[in-house]
């Protein structure tokens, strides 16, 4: 595996379900990110982790709960989601710090019934 | 509030027909401006970072330029495989790693 891989690629869940999205980076990076991409809207940053520590939370509702056990893995735990949460969730990684380009995975397409 | 506006929303070109995409931005001190390409069903693919006005970067048929208010992505003699959505993002000075994205320009190159 190379780059940034995300699983699952597609997920359909009910509003009362609990599920998790997984991201793994094989680039030796120190920072990882979650973004949300909705139709007709720009990508929105959700969370930033540097060396496993959360350094930014972009006012994300508590029904989204991130976890970063090490610099290579990032999870997004989902519970009690709303229909407006249906979107493409993208994970990215970088060397960390400003100036460094962020490299993205191909995302998880999430649909809330 | 930092903001990025990309134009046009969509652009259709014939193969070989050169053109430019625009990215206008307002930011409280620019740290970097990033260009990405996104294919359907894929994540954004990094193309360029520009840091200061007057800077230019090139990659194959793509050339990115930067002024104090906007950036252009020039596409010279495009091919059908250049069809994609091109995203522009800015990062402000101050320590945050947050990228503020525009909505993108969807480019279609017809053979």
Note whether A22 and A6 are within 8 A (CB). Answer: yes
Q: What is the 3-state secondary structure (H, E, C) of A56-111?
A: EECCCCCCEEEEEEECCEEEEEEECCCHHHCEEEEEEEECCCCCCCCEECCCEEEE
- List the single residue in A31, A44, A105 with the smallest CB-CB distance to B97: A31
Q: Write the DSSP symbol of residue A53.
A: E
Note the pLDDT tens digit of each residue in B12-65.
Answer: 999 999 999 999 999 989 999 999 999 999 999 999 999 999 999 999 999 999
Chain A nearest-CA residue for B51: A99
Instruction: Inform me whether the C-beta atom of residue A87 falls under 8 Å from chain B C-beta atoms.
Output: no
Q: How confident is the model at residue A16 (pLDDT cuts 50, 70, 90)?
A: confident
Higher-pLDDT residue of A105, A100: A105
Report the candidate in B50, B43, B46, B41 with the shortest Cα–Cα distance to residue B90: B50
Q: Which residues of B are less than 8 Å from A97 in CB distance?
A: 97
Q: Which residues of B are less than 8 Å from A39 in CB distance?
A: none
Q: How far is B104 from chain A (nearest CA, A)?
A: 8
Computed over every residue of chain A, the mean pLDDT equals 94
Report the candidate in B75, B111, B110, B106 with the shortest Cα–Cα distance to residue B11: B106
- List the single residue in B31, B36, B98 with the smallest CB-CB distance to A99: B31
Q: Which residues touch A84 (CB under 8 Å, ≥6 apart)?
A: none
Percent of chain A predicted with pLDDT > 70: 99
Q: How confident is the model at residue A1 (pLDDT cuts 50, 70, 90)?
A: low
Note the pLDDT tens digit of each residue in A31-85.
Answer: 999 999 999 899 999 999 998 888 888 899 999 999 999 999 999 999 999 999 9
Q: How far is B36 from chain A (nearest CA, A)?
A: 10
Note whether A89 and A76 are within 8 A (CB). Answer: yes
């Amino acid at each position: 595996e190379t780059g940034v891989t995300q699983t699952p690629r597609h997920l359909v869940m009910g509003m009362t379900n609990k599920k998790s999205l997984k991201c793994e980076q094989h680039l030796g990076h120190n920072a990882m990110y979650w973004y949300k991409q909705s139709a007709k809207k720009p990508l929105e940053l959700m969370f930033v982790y540097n060396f496993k520590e959360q350094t930014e939370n972009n006012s994300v509702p508590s029904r989204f709960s991130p976890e970063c056990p090490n610099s290579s893995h990032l999870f997004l735990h989902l519970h009690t989601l709303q229909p407006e949460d249906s979107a493409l969730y993208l994970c990215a990684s970088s060397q960390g710090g400003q100036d460094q380009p962020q490299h993205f995975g191909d995302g998880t397409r999430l649909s809330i019934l | 509030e930092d903001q990025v506006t990309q134009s046009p929303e969509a652009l259709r070109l014939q193969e070989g027909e050169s053109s430019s995409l625009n990215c206008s931005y307002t930011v409280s001190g620019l740290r970097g401006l990033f260009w990405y390409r996104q294919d359907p069903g894929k994540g954004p693919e990094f193309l360029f970072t520009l840091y200061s006005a007057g800077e230019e970067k090139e990659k194959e048929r793509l050339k990115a330029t930067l002024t104090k208010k906007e950036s252009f992505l020039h596409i010279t003699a495009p091919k059908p495989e250049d069809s994609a959505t091109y995203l522009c993002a800015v990062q402000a000075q101050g320590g945050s790693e947050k990228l503020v994205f525009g909505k993108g320009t969807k480019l279609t190159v017809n053979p």
